[in-house]
Amino acid sequence: MYRIILRLVFTFMGAGILHQATAYVLREGLWQNVASTNGRVLPAASMVGAIIGFAIGPHLVAKLEELMSRFISSLNRTSPHELIVGAIGLVVGLLIGILATIPIPRHIPIVGEYVPLIVTLSMGYVAMAVALKKKEELLYLFNIFPRSVDKHSGRERRIFGHRVPQKILDTSVIIDGRIADICRSQFLEGTLVVPAFVLEELQHIADSSDVLKRNRGRRGLDILNKMQKEPGVTVKIDDRDFDDVSEVDTKLVRLAKALGGKVVTNDYNLNKVAELQGVPVLNINELANAVKPIVLPGEEMVVHVIKDGKEQGQGVAYLDDGTMIVVDGGRKYIGEDIGVMVTSVLQTAAGRMIFAKPKAMERAL
């Protein structure tokens, strides 16, 4: 039903527009020798305008429906903060546009009545776009909203007046994939920033002729795509680049300094370089080691010995989290489940290593 109504609206609009245009031409004498036919020209112009409006109405309605669908979809993806900032920017732009059109003369032929409207709407759109582009700075400047990581919107806010640092992701941590699970668990606060040069490096890896590299690059892109769709997680692409340097790690450190953020990585070398330059680092490997279950000397457990160790007579087993267990005298138990007693635990940069002896050997001793 609404399509029929819209088609009728376009029909009347076409008739009205062409009628006004023809009346203006006749009134100004731009069309000679038609004074005696005014009574027939205006109805004919209205009829032609109605036919044109009726003909192009369906196409305009379809385009309008498409635009409205995109608009509604965009609103659904927009946070309340962005809606408020955009509305304020639009109102300010409209006010500026109205003031700017006061000196514009209204007697310009044909378009004189529409120039103020066009200028006002243009100013409103420009102001709204600028406000949305600078929303973080505006919210921080006027302290309108406290920032924190909202569970539903995932937008960056402030907690007790302190700014939540942004997290800059490097290539290795994206390919690793564990960052997606950490974000899903809501343990990582703030906006996740993916620099454009990191995204470009990922694309180069995904386009590599080496099968292993290509799979790693595609995995990284899939992880980013999944994170962007995750509710409560905000991923932002930062287009800034530093043309005077070519190393991605150096660019990451400089971007972190510019944003006042933290670098998220599992690269040991980048970790050390960033720390030396005073940039905070969140290392995924350190987090993984920190959440592994603590095993103390003297504890007993059952393990499955899968291979021999470096030293003579040693066997090697693994816990479910990947922690290596070196079983002294466990070589003869390869392929078997045996009970062991922990003798010592060694923590290294690569992870935790557990040394143990078979319980049968402990009883013999």
pLDDT digits (tens, 9 = 90+) for 82-97: 778 888 888 988 898 8
Residue 160's pLDDT is 39
Residue 111's pLDDT is 56
pLDDT of residue 161 exceeding 70, the answer is: no
Residues 83 and 29 in one domain: no
111, 20 contact by CB (below 8 A): no
The overall average pLDDT reported for the chain is 79
Half-sphere exposure of 45 (CA within 13 A, CB side): 17
166, 261 contact by CB (below 8 A): yes
pLDDT of residue 118 exceeding 90, the answer is: no
Question: What is each CA distance from 39 to 18, 36, 44, 52, 241, in whole angstroms?
Answer: 15, 8, 9, 21, 68
122, 145 contact by CB (below 8 A): no
C-alpha 309/C-alpha 329 separation (Å) is 10
Residue 15's pLDDT is 82
Residue 348's pLDDT is 67
pLDDT of residue 7 exceeding 80, the answer is: no
Q: Is position 247 within any domain?
A: yes
pLDDT of residue 106 exceeding 80, the answer is: no
Q: Is position 264 within any domain?
A: yes
C-alpha 357/C-alpha 280 separation (Å) is 40
pLDDT of residue 73 exceeding 90, the answer is: no
Residues 186 and 138 in one domain: no
Residues 136 and 229 in one domain: no
C-alpha 250/C-alpha 256 separation (Å) is 10
C-alpha 357/C-alpha 272 separation (Å) is 36
pLDDT of residue 211 exceeding 70, the answer is: yes
Label residue 347 by pLDDT band (50, 70, 90): confident
Find the CATH number of the domain harbouring 261.
3.40.50.1010
What are 286-342's pLDDT values in tens digits? 887 777 777 888 889 899 999 988 888 899 999 877 788 999 988 888 999 999 999
Residue 354 vs residue 24, higher pLDDT: 354
> CA nearest 259: which of 159, 174, 136, 129?
136
Structure tokens at 43: 């109805």
Query: What share of the chain in percent tops pLDDT 90?
Result: 11
The single-letter code of the amino acid at 243 is: D
Structure tokens at 51: 């036919």
Residue 342's pLDDT is 92
Q: Is position 152 within any domain?
A: no
Q: Is position 153 within any domain?
A: no
C-alpha 141/C-alpha 35 separation (Å) is 65
Residue 163's pLDDT is 62
Residue 221 vs residue 73, higher pLDDT: 221
C-alpha 289/C-alpha 48 separation (Å) is 78
Residue 35 vs residue 282, higher pLDDT: 282
Last-in-domain residue among 266, 290, 314 = 290
Residues 180 and 265 in one domain: yes
Adjacent-strand bridge partners of 238: 195
Burial class (CB in 10 A: 0-12, 13-18, 19+), 225: exposed
Residues 106 and 191 in one domain: no
Residues 82 and 173 in one domain: no
Residue 340's pLDDT is 92
Domain that residue 102 falls in:
78-145
Q: Is position 295 within any domain?
A: no
Residue 350's pLDDT is 62
Q: Among all chains, which residue has been given the structure tokens 């962007």?
A: 228
Strand pairing of 167-169 and 192-195? Answer: parallel
Label residue 356 by pLDDT band (50, 70, 90): very high
Residue 152's pLDDT is 37
Question: Which stretch of 12-16, 166-170, 334-338 has the lowest confidence by average pLDDT?
Answer: 12-16
Query: What share of the chain in percent tops pLDDT 70?
Result: 81
Beta strands in 128-220 (DSSP E): 158-159, 162-163, 167-169, 192-195
Residues 277 and 187 in one domain: yes
Adjacent-strand bridge partners of 348: 351
Residues 90 and 121 in one domain: yes
C-alpha 266/C-alpha 173 separation (Å) is 6
> CA nearest 201: which of 212, 188, 213, 183?
213
What are 31-55's pLDDT values in tens digits? 555 554 556 777 887 888 888 877 8
Q: Among all chains, which residue has been given the structure tokens 């393990």?
A: 303
Burial class (CB in 10 A: 0-12, 13-18, 19+), 363: exposed
Residue 349's pLDDT is 59
Q: Is position 261 within any domain?
A: yes
Last-in-domain residue among 21, 48, 77 = 77
Question: Which stretch of 27-36, 47-56, 163-172, 177-186 has the lowest confidence by average pLDDT?
Answer: 27-36
Residues 140 and 177 in one domain: no
Q: Is position 311 within any domain?
A: yes
Residue 304's pLDDT is 92
292, 321 contact by CB (below 8 A): yes
Strand order in the sheet with 281-283: 235-238, 192-195, 167-169, 262-265, 281-283
* Number of structural domains in the chain: 4
Residues 180 and 270 in one domain: yes
Find the CATH number of the domain harbouring 321.
2.40.50.140
Residues 97 and 182 in one domain: no
155, 79 contact by CB (below 8 A): yes
Residues 171 and 266 in one domain: yes
